[in-house]
Structure 1
Amino acid sequence: MDEDDSIVVESPEEIGAEVYKRVVVDVLSDLSLGRVVEKVRVYIDVTQPVFIFVGLRRMGLPSVHLKDFADVGIGEYGKQEVIINLNKETYISQLLNKLWERYGKGNINQKERTKIIVETANYMTEVDLLKDMVIDEKVQEINNRIVDAMLRIIPEGFRVRYHQLTDEYILFVASEDPIKQDWKDRAEAMRDKLVEAHHA
């Protein structure tokens, strides 16, 4: 995700906006949502207090390959193995299921959380095949990660929430106080502007 124009944070406090932009970028990256969320607009005003997050979703589920979140290479000299070093832990369960299915549980060794060793006689050809292995994701799993991201991004104490989660967009409004209609209207105007620009 090109964060410069994809993520825009508005706030009466300029420094707060920059800090919040970094939080949004980091959380979306940590949860591997950069391929799912296309454009983000955030409005935060702690004096009101209100937090609004609107994001456009990419249409269709992008394929996630092993090489997108791991370094894959051949093991030590003389060993018939492929070593997978994970840069993110988001897809571990899906990856392990795929590896067990292809190589059998007995040939998969996970000594560390982020390091998996695949024992295979065909390690020279399997290393390239593994790099391009597609790790499928279900819509519900992605939605769960989006909600998780929102809970991490929303300021602490903003427990009153209003949200809309569709195939096209994500809209969250949060506050310490009951959600005002003005805030919902602002969020929906931000959403409409993003959607219209996307379809233009």
Structure 2
Amino acid sequence: MKITVDGTVDSDGAGYKEIARDIIKNSRISNLVEQVHMEIDVPEPIFIISIKVKGVRQPTEITNIAKIRETKEGCKLEIRDEGYASNLLSKLWKEFGKSKIEQPTRLEITCKDIDKEELQDMVLKPSEEITDTLLNLSWQIIPEGFRVRRSMKSEKVFTILATEDPMKEEWMERLNQVHSKMNMEE
């Protein structure tokens, strides 16, 4: 993972690089983060963070990634595509609550008091979960007090501008420039 810092900070932004690296490394999506770029302008004051991720899986119906069988207690999912396992578990927890969902093995999920029909049409959208995670990661990296925020999102890039002052038009232009530049980088 490549991390860069530009702006009015000492020692090449080493502190911010270390904070970003540690926070991302300890996240569920650390293997998906390809690049992080931060721009810090202390006198303004603004902080921009842009995170680029590797290819994100496309939305898919649960029936495409898991076999669903009815049981006495509800139903059981046998996961065929392990790459979706964590997204599937998160989606089920969000929809039905953790008390009804168990994962006895890596590729098996049991659902208590949930009918097979409730799961068959459910669609997993990994990009939504990744966006939520990127947002949370960014908030952990952004300095305290920078509560005024704007963001941009494209398929592989998520960029946030944060400040403690009212938003200015020229800052929004910088946000757009950083986001566009990160989108073009290979």
Question: Quick check: 189-198 or 152-161, which moved more?
Answer: 189-198
The corresponding residue for 1:23 is 19
- Structure 2 unaligned residues grouped into runs of 5+: 59-85, 91-100, 112-123
Q: 1:161 and 1:145 mapped to 2: Cα distance? A: 16
Q: 1:50 and 1:103 mapped to 2: Cα distance? A: 45
The corresponding residue for 2:44 is 48
Q: Is 1:197 aligned to residue 180 of structure 2? A: no
Residue number among 121, 125, 131 corresponding to 1:143 in the alignment: 131
With structure 2 as the length reference, what TM-score do the two structures score? 0.62
Q: Which residue identity is paired with 1:23?
A: I
1:104 is displaced (CA, Å) by 7.2
Q: 1:20 and 1:102 mapped to 2: Cα distance? A: 39
Cα distance 1:16–1:154, how it changes in 2: closer, same or farther (>3 A)? farther
1:45 is displaced (CA, Å) by 2.0
Deviation sequence 1:108-160 (CA, Å, 0-9, x none):
xxxxxxxxxxxxxxxxxxxxxxxxxxxx9833222221111011011100000
Q: 2:126 and 2:103 mapped to 1: Cα distance? A: 15
With structure 1 as the length reference, what TM-score do the two structures score? 0.58
The corresponding residue for 2:104 is 99
Q: 1:51 and 1:138 mapped to 2: Cα distance? A: 27
The corresponding residue for 1:179 is 167
Q: Any idea what SS the aligned residue of 2:8 has?
A: coil
Cα distance 1:143–1:197, how it changes in 2: closer, same or farther (>3 A)? closer
Q: 2:42 and 2:19 mapped to 1: Cα distance? A: 16
Given that 2:40 and 2:48 are in contact with CA atoms closer than 8 Å, whether structure 1 keeps it comes out as yes
Q: 1:55 and 1:103 mapped to 2: Cα distance? A: 32
Identity %: 25
Within a 5 Å distance, the mapping from 1:36-185 to structure 2 comes to 36-61=32-57, 94=89, 97-99=102-104, 102=108, 138-185=126-173
1:97 is displaced (CA, Å) by 3.6
Given that 2:6 and 2:12 are in contact with CA atoms closer than 8 Å, whether structure 1 keeps it comes out as no
Number of equivalences: 135
Q: Any idea what SS the aligned residue of 1:99 has?
A: strand
